[in-house]
């Protein structure tokens, strides 16, 4: 079964510091990987996704993620945190099975930005 | 109205009530999904509809009954729920190309409280 592990349920960084949110997946076949963000009282918004076209993926709001097959990882980074980045972040995986398949999500990481 | 909308945004119901959640997508998509988001747990896929046909039922109790009358509307009918069913219910839609790389777009969710 496919699964996603997000290390750290809470991550706290200072404004202007590097943001690193970790995601590891379990897979024996190439996956499709997604990062979503959820602000309070809102649904999920796609930040970026990996679809095998390029290992370094750039997303919205200055975020990017690098797919590392050898480490089965897809960590999310942002060079300089902003107060508006405070939110819940979810890593998700789907395997190429054809048709409409649901996503398997990690438990989420709550990002706290210290002023 | 654009994107994915959900009504109502908040719902409080007793265990003997019958209620329905509504989702509508204005994106021209052909697949729709229900997810459950509970505190301390990952988002759980409940149902998938592709071209109005249910393609996945993720072992969801029968007290949850989905309905997809057309590719733009999705309902979740609720009856005799339990307090542990209290959660945020998220609807999503996508254009299913069969590749697995499709982006799912989420609505804002319905916050359900079962008394």
Name chain A contacts of B98, Cβ cutoff 8 Å.
98-99
SS3 A72: coil
At residue A99, does pLDDT exceed 60? Answer: no
State the pLDDT at residue A96: 62
Residue pLDDT, tens place only, A54-88: 889 999 999 999 999 999 999 999 999 999 999 99
CA distance B2 to B19: 25
Cβ–Cβ gap B100/A102 under 8 Å: no
**Which residues, in sequence order, are CB contacts of B72 under 8 Å at separation 6+?**
B24, B25, B26
Beta strands in A15-63 (DSSP E): 19-21, 24-26, 31-38, 44-50, 56-58
How confident is the prediction for chain B on average, in pLDDT?
91
What radius of gyration do chain B's Cα atoms show? 14
Nearest to B101 among A41, A49, A105 (CB): A49
State the pLDDT at residue A34: 95
Q: Are B47 and B54 in contact (CB under 8 A)?
A: yes
At residue A98, does pLDDT exceed 60? Answer: no
Residue B45, beta-bridge partner list: B35
Cβ–Cβ gap A44/B94 under 8 Å: no
At residue B56, does pLDDT exceed 80? Answer: no
Which residues in chain A (56-115) have CB-CB distances under 8 A to chain B? 90, 92, 94-108
Name the interface residues of B facing A (CB cutoff 8 Å): 4, 6, 30-31, 33, 35, 40-43, 45, 48-50, 55-56, 58, 90, 92, 94, 96, 98-109
At residue B1, does pLDDT exceed 60? Answer: no
Beta strands in A1-115 (DSSP E): 3-5, 10-14, 19-21, 24-26, 31-38, 44-50, 56-58, 64-68, 73-78, 87-95, 104-105, 109-114
Q: Are B42 and B102 in contact (CB under 8 A)?
A: no
A3 touches chain B (CB under 8 A): no
Q: Region B62-81: what's the mean pLDDT?
A: 94
Cβ–Cβ gap B101/A99 under 8 Å: no
Q: Which residue, among B8, B13, B6, B3, has the nearest Cα to B86 in the 3D structure?
A: B13
Low-confidence winner among B36-40, B88-92, B111-115 (lowest mean pLDDT): B36-40
State the pLDDT at residue B7: 97
State the pLDDT at residue A97: 58
Q: Distance from CA of residue A75 to its chain's centroid?
A: 6
Residue pLDDT, tens place only, A14-48: 999 999 999 999 876 778 999 999 998 889 999 99
**Which residues, in sequence order, are CB contacts of A87 under 8 Å at separation 6+?**
A37, A38, A39, A40, A110, A111
Peptide bond between residue A15 and the one before it cis (omega within 30 degrees of 0):
no
**Which residues, in sequence order, are CB contacts of A104 under 8 Å at separation 6+?**
A2, A3, A4, A92, A93, A94, B42, B45
At residue B18, does pLDDT exceed 90? Answer: yes
Nearest to B100 among A90, A94, A105 (CB): A94
Name chain A contacts of B35, Cβ cutoff 8 Å.
102
What secondary structure letter does DSSP report for B4?
E
Name chain B contacts of A7, Cβ cutoff 8 Å.
none
């Amino acid at each position: 079964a496919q699964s996603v592990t997000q290390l750290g349920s809470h991550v706290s960084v200072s404004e202007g510091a590097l943001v690193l949110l970790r995601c590891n997946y379990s897979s024996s076949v190439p996956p499709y990987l997604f990062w979503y963000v959820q602000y309070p009282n809102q649904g999920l918004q796609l930040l970026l996704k990996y679809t095998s076209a390029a290992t370094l993926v750039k997303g919205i709001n200055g975020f990017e993620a690098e797919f590392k097959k050898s480490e089965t990882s897809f960590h999310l980074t942002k060079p300089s945190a902003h107060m508006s980045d405070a939110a819940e972040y979810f890593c998700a995986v789907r395997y190429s099975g054809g048709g409409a398949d649901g996503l398997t999500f990690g438990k989420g990481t709550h990002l706290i930005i210290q002023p | 109205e654009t994107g994915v909308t959900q009504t109502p945004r908040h719902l409080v119901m007793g265990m003997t009530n019958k209620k329905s959640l509504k989702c509508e997508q204005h994106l021209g998509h052909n697949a729709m999904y229900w997810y459950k988001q509970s505190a301390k747990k990952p988002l759980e896929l409940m149902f998938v509809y592709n071209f109005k046909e249910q393609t996945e039922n993720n072992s969801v109790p029968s007290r949850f009954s989905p309905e997809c009358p057309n590719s733009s509307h999705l309902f979740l009918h609720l009856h005799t729920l339990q307090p542990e069913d209290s959660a945020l219910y998220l609807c999503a839609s996508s254009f299913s190309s069969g590749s697995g790389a499709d982006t799912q777009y989420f609505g804002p969710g319905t916050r359900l409280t079962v008394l």
